[in-house]
């Protein structure tokens, strides 16, 4: 008998909460004014399929934390594919082309197993690890020096982290990973 009023009270709270949530979702104009002032955000995802045993053996424990289910590429295969001019498609930015309105921020999320960079370049080209560049391809100036170049270091995204890019001017912008230079995104800002 003592539990019945408590249960009735809790059920009433749950119904009231559900109604408030439904009303808020159905009426976006009721959101606080600051929500409308926030910039729009477009997401880009960095992906890879590094093999933890081969990557970590050479690059250190926990360098690669593969999250792909059953798919992986050894470090030697990654270099061999790049040298043949057919880089591993498991290393990619998604989407490859993005059209956004001016004022939209980019949110770049590393959902791969190893670090990447999201570096703006004047034109696509090679990265700072010669063995991962296409045959005959040199590092683009923006990637030169690797992480010793502060501008490159600022664009590094670690596993499960996010990099935010804001204030892109109208026009076409090119971004690539300075480690895995076939990871590329073209962003058109209108």
Residue 31 pLDDT exceeds 70: no
Question: Average pLDDT in the 48-71 region?
Answer: 88
CA distance 168 to 100: 10
What is 39-189's CATH number? 2.60.40.420
Question: Average pLDDT in the 48-72 region?
Answer: 88
Question: Average pLDDT in the 32-48 region?
Answer: 78
CA distance 47 to 131: 20
Q: How confident is the model at residue 35 (pLDDT cuts 50, 70, 90)?
A: low
Domain ranges in the chain?
1-32, 39-189
32 three-class SS: coil
21 three-class SS: helix
* 78-96 per-residue burial string, b: 16 or more CB within 10 A, e: under 16: beebbeeeebbebbbbeee
Beta bridge partners of 99: 188
* Average pLDDT across the chain, whole number: 84
Q: How confident is the model at residue 36 (pLDDT cuts 50, 70, 90)?
A: low
Residue 19 has a pLDDT of 38
Residue 7 pLDDT exceeds 50: no
Residue 190 has a pLDDT of 95
Q: Phi/psi class of residue 25: alpha, beta or left (left: φ > 0; alpha: ψ in -120 to 50)? A: alpha
Q: Are 21 and 27 in contact (CB under 8 A)?
A: no
67 three-class SS: coil
Residue 155 pLDDT exceeds 60: yes
The DSSP code for 81 is: H
Residue 71 has a pLDDT of 81
| pLDDT > 90 in the chain, percent | 74
> What Å distances lie between residue 57 and 62, 72, 135, CA to CA?
10, 15, 26
Residue 90 has a pLDDT of 92
């Amino acid at each position: 008998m003592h539990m019945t009023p408590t249960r009735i009270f809790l059920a009433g709270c749950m119904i009231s909460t559900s109604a408030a949530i439904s009303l808020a979702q159905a009426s976006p104009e009721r959101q606080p004014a600051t929500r409308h002032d926030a910039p729009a955000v477009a997401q880009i995802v960095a992906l890879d399929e590094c093999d933890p045993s081969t990557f970590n053996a050479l690059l250190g424990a926990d360098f690669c934390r593969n999250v792909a289910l059953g798919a992986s590429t050894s470090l030697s295969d990654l270099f061999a594919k790049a040298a043949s001019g057919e880089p591993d498609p498991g290393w990619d930015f998604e989407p490859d082309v993005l059209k956004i309105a001016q004022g939209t921020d980019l949110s770049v999320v590393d959902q791969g197993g190893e670090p990447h960079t999201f570096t703006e370049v004047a034109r696509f080209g090679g990265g700072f690890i010669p063995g991962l560049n296409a045959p005959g391809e040199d590092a683009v100036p923006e990637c030169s020096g690797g992480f010793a170049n502060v501008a490159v270091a600022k664009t590094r995204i670690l596993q499960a982290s996010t990099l935010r890019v804001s204030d892109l001017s109208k026009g076409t912008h090119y971004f690539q990973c300075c480690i895995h230079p076939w990871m590329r995104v073209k962003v058109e800002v209108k």
